[in-house]
Amino acid sequence: MSTYSDLGIELMVTGENAGTWGTKTNNNLNLIEQLTGGFATLSIAGGAGTQALDIDDGALTGTAQQKIIEFTGSITGNRIITIPNDVETFYILKNSTSGAYTVQFKYATGSGSSTTFSSTDKGIKTVYASANDGTNPDIVDVMANSSEIVLANNNPIKFNDADNSAYVGIDAPTTVSGSYTLTLPAGVGSADQALVTTDGSGTLGFTSTSSFGITTGKAIAMAIVFG
């Protein structure tokens, strides 16, 4: 008799389902289409707690059987969203909930890695459900674990404010004479220090502004003279 894949696709035995093979095959194809490109909104409204996404064998109704899932609803506590331990696939997750609480995405059981939207993160994550261990499988946040990110066509990196109404961007010049990397300092600077290059090769460090040769008294005098 038929068995089912970890994502609910029916695996038919040779010779069975006479007269219904076409219907079941079409259903499988629809499910494959949903698994590879389907989109669904899912309310996770409520207080602190766990909400399990499911796989419905041979059906299109499983809440974990979509490629793109948008979480919605008003949350009044930290929410945990789980998938079955044997699910192996990519997900694109969007956190559109209201409420300043975290949303964690993980496997149903075990101590494997997970990914979490912070209380102010109403963004998008691309994750890989690895099913790499029967007991402690890992959820891999693809962008968080990327070894390098390249933005093409002079596009900036943008840091949104808390309500995503404005941002601070960092951009490269339209034309760069030669490629270089800025390396941030290992520690935090102190008051009245500026971030400067320390070796002419892109290494940055904190230096006291007094070393620039302009004392507070001189700065006041210059302000009086030059306005």
Q: Evaluate whether residue 105 is within a structural domain.
A: yes
Q: pLDDT-based confidence at 81, cuts 50/70/90?
A: very high
Residue 126 domain-assigned (yes or no)? yes
Mean pLDDT over the full length of the chain: 91
Residue 25 has pLDDT above 70, yes or no: yes
Residue finishing a domain among 141, 171, 206? 141
Q: What's the confidence (pLDDT) of residue 47?
A: 97
| Residue 169 resides in a domain | no
Q: What is the mean pLDDT of residues 3-17?
A: 92
| 96 shares a domain with 196 | no
Confidence at 213, pLDDT banded by 50, 70, 90: low
Pairing relationship of beta strands 103-107 and 3-4 according to DSSP bridges: unpaired
Question: Which pLDDT score, from 0 to 100, does residue 226 have?
Answer: 65
Q: How many CB atoms lie within 10 A of CB 68?
A: 16
Looking at the predicted structure, is the pLDDT value of residue 135 above 90? yes
Question: CA-CA distance, 145 to 137, in Å (whole number)?
Answer: 16
- What is the pLDDT at residue 151? 84
pLDDT for res 57: 96
* 219 — pLDDT class (breaks 50, 70, 90): low
- Does 59 share its domain with 136? yes
Sheet holding 124-129, edge to edge: 39-43, 68-72, 89-95, 124-129, 139-141
| Residue 221: inside a domain | yes
- Pick from 49-63, 137-151, 166-180, 192-206 the range whose average pLDDT is largest: 49-63
Give a yes or no: residue 159 inside a domain. Answer: no
Which residue, of 141, 166, 198, is where some domain finishes?
A: 141
133 & 189 share domain: no
Question: Quick one: 79 and 186 in the same domain?
Answer: no
- Do 188 and 95 have their domain in common? no
Does the pLDDT of residue 175 top 70, yes or no?
A: yes
Residue 94 and residue 12 in one domain: yes
pLDDT-wise least confident of 17-31, 128-142, 148-162: 148-162
List, in order, residues 6 or more apart from 212 with CB less than 8 Å away: 194
> Which structural domain, as residue segments, surrounds residue 63?
3-141
Q: Is residue 154 part of a domain?
A: no
Cα distance between residue 57 and residue 26, in whole Å: 14
135 and 197 housed in the same domain: no
Q: How far apart are CA 163 and CA 213, in angstroms?
A: 41
C-alpha triplet 147, 152, 157: angle, nearest 5°: 70
User: In the predicted model, is pLDDT for residue 153 greater than 70?
Assistant: yes
The domain tally of the chain equals 2
38 and 92 fall within a common domain: yes
Q: Are residues 197 and 106 in the same domain?
A: no
Categorize the per-residue pLDDT at 218 as very low, low, confident or very high, splitting at 50, 70 and 90: low
Where does a domain end: 141, 164, 188?
141
pLDDT score for 28 = 96
Check whether residue 186 and residue 132 sit in a common domain: no
- One-letter amino acid for residue 21 of the chain: W
1 vs 62, more confident:
62
User: So what's the pLDDT on residue 146?
Assistant: 78
In angstroms, the first-to-last Cα distance of the chain is 89
User: 64 with 55: CB under 8 angstroms?
Assistant: yes
**Residue with token string 């404005």:** 166
pTM of this structure: 0.75
19 and 116 in one domain? yes
Closest to 143 (Cα-Cα) out of 173, 181, 117, 171: 117
Determine the pLDDT at residue 140: 96
The answer to whether residues 13 and 87 belong to one domain is yes
Tell me which residue of 70, 68, 66, 39 sits closest to 55, measured CA to CA: 66
Q: Is residue 62 part of a domain?
A: yes
φ, ψ of residue 166 to 5 degrees: the values are -155, 165
Where does the pLDDT of residue 24 fall: very low under 50, low under 70, confident under 90, or very high at 90 and above?
A: very high
Q: What whole-number distance in Å separates Cα of residue 81 and Cα of residue 90?
A: 15
Query: Does 90 fall in a domain?
Result: yes
Q: What's the pLDDT at 147?
A: 79
